[in-house]
Amino acid sequence: MFIYYLRLAMLSLRKNILLTSLMITAIGLGIGAAMTTITVNYLMSADPIPHKSDRLFYVQLDNWDPNSPYQEPNEPPDQVTWLEATNLMAAGKAFRQSAMGQSTLIVEPNRPEQKPFVTRVRMAYADFFPMFDVPFLYGSGWTANDDLDRRLVVVLSKATNDEVFGGVNSVGENLVMEGRSYQVVGVLDDWHPRPKFFDLSTGAFNLPEDLYVPYSLKESLELPSTGNNNCWQPVSEDTFQAFLQSECVNSQFWVEFEDPDDQYEYLAFLDNYVAEQKKLGRFPRETNNRLSNVMDWMENQEVVAEDARMMMYMALMFLIVCLLNTVALLLAKFIGRTGEIALRRAVGASRRTLFAQHLIEAGLIGAAGGLLGLILAWLGLKGINGLYGDQINGLTSLDPNMIALAIGLAVISTILAGLYPTWRACSVPPAGQLKTQ
Amino acid sequence: MLKMNNISKVFRTDVVETHALRDFTLHVEEGDFVAVTGPSGSGKTTFLNVAGLLETFDDGDYLLDGQSVKGLSDSQLARLRNEKIGFIFQSFNLLPDLNLFDNVDVPLRYRRFNAAERKRRIEEALEVVGLASRMRHLPSQLSGGQQQRVAIARALAGQPRFLLADEPTGNLDTQMANSVMDLLEQINKEGTTVVMVTHDPLLAQRAQRNIFVRDGRVSEVTSNADASELLHKTAQVG
């Protein structure tokens, strides 16, 4: 019967092209607006590393001002100091761990025709690469010994390798940066986690850095912090060493556990660590250490912007308005067909059968509206991309889940919109209709 | 075949109650050809709608082919209509967007016959009404008489035991009306029980039994001549 109903629906839709077009357009507009904003929200809140996001934890320690919290009501700083970064690394209590931060370096390419350029650098520890499953095109990350020995090693992004080495395997080559020669140990494949969860302080949807060097070089080479840097008291002296020893927070610290339950043991370790630091006159606030897994950390940092959420709610309301219009149009269409409904009832169709027939017709309109909505959503996302550009890298593409959601939402919402018109049309007593035909 | 005992049907609005049928009692036997006549507003059509399970009734008993229809669900009533009753309406009620084949197919679809069985029945029914060669035509391409023949084919395709016709010739000229009546007589002779509502005394005379309805009640007349006389009187009263 389904095929029969589909055939009847096609006939009915072809019969009044104008009415059909109006309904499909109404649904398409609503779905287009809703899907544009839902897609942005969905991609903003997507799990960037789903197979281990429950085992990766972000560390927060409250070394802040005793008189006022870092953020109300009692939030600890969202980064750690260089002291904590290096001390926790030295303790090495987790299965994997890496302190990290952002800096910049000037690359001096070997080829004379290429001019030096400034590039963003991620300073990290050897565990960074296996911890975040960073994919390699050539070579690998550096080793823990390279961290300890403060060796001048570098991992290039694919784009940087393309630019500096023409895309060939550059492992073992040297790259000169600010007068120092770094040995290339690895080249990344395309890697663009969305959101860039490992450092939300430098823009949740920015591209990852172009180069990766050991965090331990920060001290020896006096690499500046170019990400967020927050201090609650002035640095004692105007020297780099004083800056490192200060209470300024500018590094991120991630740990990986083999079992999520290991977090409790690690939290106890952090509490002990802070207790020791208190004895040294640091950490004047009450102990307030936090461990947040990837999704909790993104929630905490409000990766999904409030205005994006508001836009989504408004678009959903617009969809409801479009659906109400569709209800009115379906009502007009179905009520105009009471003669046919009466005839079908007379020759043996039950109300349930007729309901199915009309809801399939509504579903077909919804599917067509969904397809139109997908095209409009695609155009909408292109428009958003044009407006915001790099700020929303990767947030403006429709993935298969979103396509399925668009069609599903369109079909289901149109079927729901068709319930009342169908009920009204099927409630008209057939006897009177048959006589007045 | 059809047994109605003391059927009552009242149409109610906020201000008025209309008794369309009062203690309506009628027995139709298998193979009968019954004409139902009476003045306008006498309850003929209401009777036909109740008989065809398109209208409920307030009181009394109605047995269709031995089965009481009281309290049946919408689905059960639909099934009974589909399997046991064929309808012929004054205004044909063909679906204008479907060709003749698909129009005749409508009741068979609800019967869940397979495609081959439906095709066989449709072709056979259209053959009976003489329109097999035009099964791909749309209703709008046919004359009124031909459209009514299609409606008869649609009613026959499901091989119902009971044919209900509401003024089947009301929209046709005399020649076409006679041809449709010939067809109904032929169908009746082949064993299908026919109940026909009509205003036309001449057509009523062609039925085996005549039922005269007045004020929602039945007055049964067995002789065609008597029926004609009664109708004549009714016309004078009206």
Per-residue model confidence as pLDDT tens digits over B71-101? 899 899 999 999 999 998 888 889 999 999 9
- Are the beta carbons of B2 and B163 closer than 8 angstroms? no
Decide which of B221 and A322 is more confident: A322
- Are the beta carbons of B132 and B120 closer than 8 angstroms? no
Query: Which secondary-structure segment (H or E) carries A351?
Result: helix A351-388
Using the predicted structure, report yes or no on whether residue B235 has a pLDDT greater than 60: no
What confidence score (pLDDT) does residue A307 get? Answer: 78
Q: With a threshold of 0.85, tell me whether the complex ipTM lies above it.
A: yes
Using the predicted structure, report yes or no on whether residue B220 has a pLDDT greater than 70: no
Sorting pLDDT into bands at 50, 70 and 90, what band is B167?
confident
Q: Identify the burial level of A284 via C-beta atoms within 10 angstroms of its C-beta, where 0-12 means exposed, 13-18 middle and 19 or more buried.
A: middle
- How many angstroms separate the CA atoms of A209 and A119, rounded? 8
**B109 CA: distance to closest CA in chain A (Å):** 8
Q: Check A350 against B74: CB less than 8 A apart.
A: yes
Neighbours of A279 (CB within 10 A): 8
Q: Which residues of B touch A11 (CB under 8 A)?
A: 97-98
Mutate to test the interface with A, among B12, B21, B46, B49 (most CBs of A within 10 A): B49
Q: Which residues contact A238 (CB under 8 A, 6 or more apart)?
A: none
What confidence score (pLDDT) does residue A268 get? Answer: 96
Q: Which residues of B touch A4 (CB under 8 A)?
A: 109
User: A91-95, A256-260, B33-37, B40-44 — which is least confidently predicted?
Assistant: B40-44
Q: Could you say which DSSP state residue A146 is in?
A: H
- Closest by CA position to A53, among listed A63, A45, A61: A45
Residues belonging to chain B with any Cβ–Cβ distance to chain A shorter than 8 Å: 45, 49, 52, 54-55, 74-75, 77-79, 81-83, 87, 89-93, 95, 97-98, 106-107, 109-112, 154, 158, 166
**Which chain B residue has its CA at the smallest distance from A2's CA?**
B109
Q: Give the DSSP per-residue string, B146-192.
A: HHHHHHHHHHHHT--SEEEEESTTTTS-HHHHHHHHHHHHHHHHTT-
Q: Could you say which DSSP state residue A76 is in?
A: P
The stretch B155-173 carries a mean pLDDT of 86
**B78 CA: distance to closest CA in chain A (Å):** 5
Domain boundaries, chain A: 2-45+305-436, 56-300
**B81 CA: distance to closest CA in chain A (Å):** 5
- How many angstroms separate the CA atoms of A48 and A279, rounded? 39
Q: Which residues of A touch B125 (CB under 8 A)?
A: none
What confidence score (pLDDT) does residue B206 get? Answer: 86
Nearest CB among A1, A340, A347 relative to B87 is that of A347
Q: What CATH number does the domain located at B2-237 have?
A: 3.40.50.300
Q: Check B87 against A346: CB less than 8 A apart.
A: yes
**Which chain A residue has its CA at the smallest distance from B166's CA?**
A435
Using the predicted structure, report yes or no on whether residue B109 has a pLDDT greater than 50: yes
Q: Check B54 against A353: CB less than 8 A apart.
A: no
**Going by DSSP bridges, is the β-strand pair A117-124/B17-28 parallel, antiparallel, or unpaired?**
unpaired
Domain boundaries, chain B: 2-237
**Which chain B residue has its CA at the smallest distance from A341's CA?**
B95
Q: Which residues of B touch A337 (CB under 8 A)?
A: none
- How many angstroms separate the CA atoms of A159 and A143, rounded? 23
Q: Check A347 against B154: CB less than 8 A apart.
A: yes
Find where tokens 């201000």 sit.
B15
What confidence score (pLDDT) does residue A403 get? Answer: 87
Reading chain A (437 residues) residue by residue, the pLDDT tens digits are: 889 999 999 998 898 899 999 999 999 999 999 988 888 888 777 788 999 999 999 999 999 999 999 999 999 999 999 999 999 999 999 999 999 999 999 999 988 888 999 999 999 999 999 999 999 999 999 999 999 999 999 999 999 999 999 999 999 999 999 999 999 999 999 998 888 899 988 888 888 999 999 999 999 999 998 888 999 998 888 899 999 999 999 999 999 999 999 999 999 999 999 999 999 999 999 999 999 999 999 989 888 777 778 888 999 999 999 989 999 998 988 888 888 999 999 999 998 999 999 999 999 999 999 999 999 988 988 887 777 666 565 666 777 888 898 899 889 989 998 999 999 888 888 877 877 54
Mean pLDDT of chain B: 86
Neighbours of A211 (CB within 10 A): 24
Strand, coil or helix: what is B141? helix
Nearest CB among B78, B83, B90 relative to A349 is that of B78
Count of CB pairs separated by less than 8 Å, A with B: 74
Using the predicted structure, report yes or no on whether residue B238 has a pLDDT greater than 50: no
What confidence score (pLDDT) does residue B129 get? Answer: 85
Using the predicted structure, report yes or no on whether residue B68 has a pLDDT greater than 50: yes
